Amino acid sequence: MQFGAALAKGLFDEVGVAGAVFLRVLFAAIALMLVFRPSLRMPSRRALPLLVTFGIVLAAMNLSFYASLERIPLGVAVTLEFVGPLGVAVAGSRSAVDLVWVGLAALGIVLLSDFGSGGLDLVGAGLALMAGGFWAAYILLSARVGRVFQGGDGLALAMVVGAVVLTPVGVARGGAELAEPAVLAVAMGVALLSSAIPYGLEMEALRRMPTRVFGTLMSLEPAAGVLAGFVVLGEDLSAREIVAILLVAAASAGASRGASVAPRDA
């Protein structure tokens, strides 16, 4: 997912953030629809509102995260976004030790902000934190969608909803550049790396394990973001920023392991 995000950052100059996100979600929707071929008949009366909500959250999560990448390094953006999964993990736990994990995460975020000295773009940081809120909603909704729909049907249909929601802003910003062959080729790769493959795997994982275990494994994402940013984009981080990222990842892993959430059907 993080290498796909790094690749997508190269599209910003051509089609803007909104255009890049629109193409990513559109191609992911096409790929998932071809793979799962979901039925358009809703399994229950509550399925459609759940599906639409999930699609809107997917669109908002991607748009706010990509907008943050325009202003701050990938590793920093992923770390700040991780406040969302961390919040889910802490909310599902009843242990007093969770205060330690919250404190570690807060210390990491303060270190990233360079103690308010202006070293970090505040708008970019705010967008990353907003993406984290949508990520928390995505985790909770993904588990519900996985129980209502079979296989990857819910994810595929929700991705279509997300593409529809993003169409106005994506087309308005990207314009004719959206049809350029080189842009389409990169966007196809981004969609597979950042949406179709990881989202599909995540939904299958959430069917087979407690959310606390899922959250622990997902705590590797900030480190993956740092690696992708360095390899693909040449983004260097200071020792302080690397320590901050490790603190947030450790806090997320610790809180997720302590969360008392019953496992779903395995």
Helix, strand, or coil (residue 159): helix
Cα 12 from Cα 4, distance rounded (Å) = 13
Tokens of 41: 């008949």
Q: Give the residue among 118, 130, 111, 157 at the shortest CA–CA distance from 66.
A: 130
What's the confidence (pLDDT) of residue 204? 81
What's the confidence (pLDDT) of residue 263? 41
What's the confidence (pLDDT) of residue 92? 62
Angle between helices 2-9 and 47-69 (to 10 degrees): 60
Q: Per residue of the chain (266 residues), give pLDDT as tens.
A: 888 888 888 888 889 899 999 998 998 899 889 888 888 888 888 889 999 999 999 999 999 999 999 898 888 888 888 888 777 767 766 667 767 777 777 787 777 766 555 567 889 989 999 999 998 898 888 888 888 888 788 888 999 999 999 999 999 988 888 888 988 898 888 888 887 788 778 778 877 777 667 767 777 777 788 888 888 888 877 787 788 888 877 877 776 665 554 444 33
The pTM of this model reads 0.79
What's the confidence (pLDDT) of residue 264? 42
Tokens of 199: 């989202």
**C-alpha atoms less than 13 angstroms from C-alpha of 108 in its C-beta half-sphere:** 28
Q: Estimate to the nearest angstrom the gap between the alpha carbon of 181 and the chain centroid.
A: 26
Cα 86 from Cα 121, distance rounded (Å) = 22
What's the confidence (pLDDT) of residue 80? 86
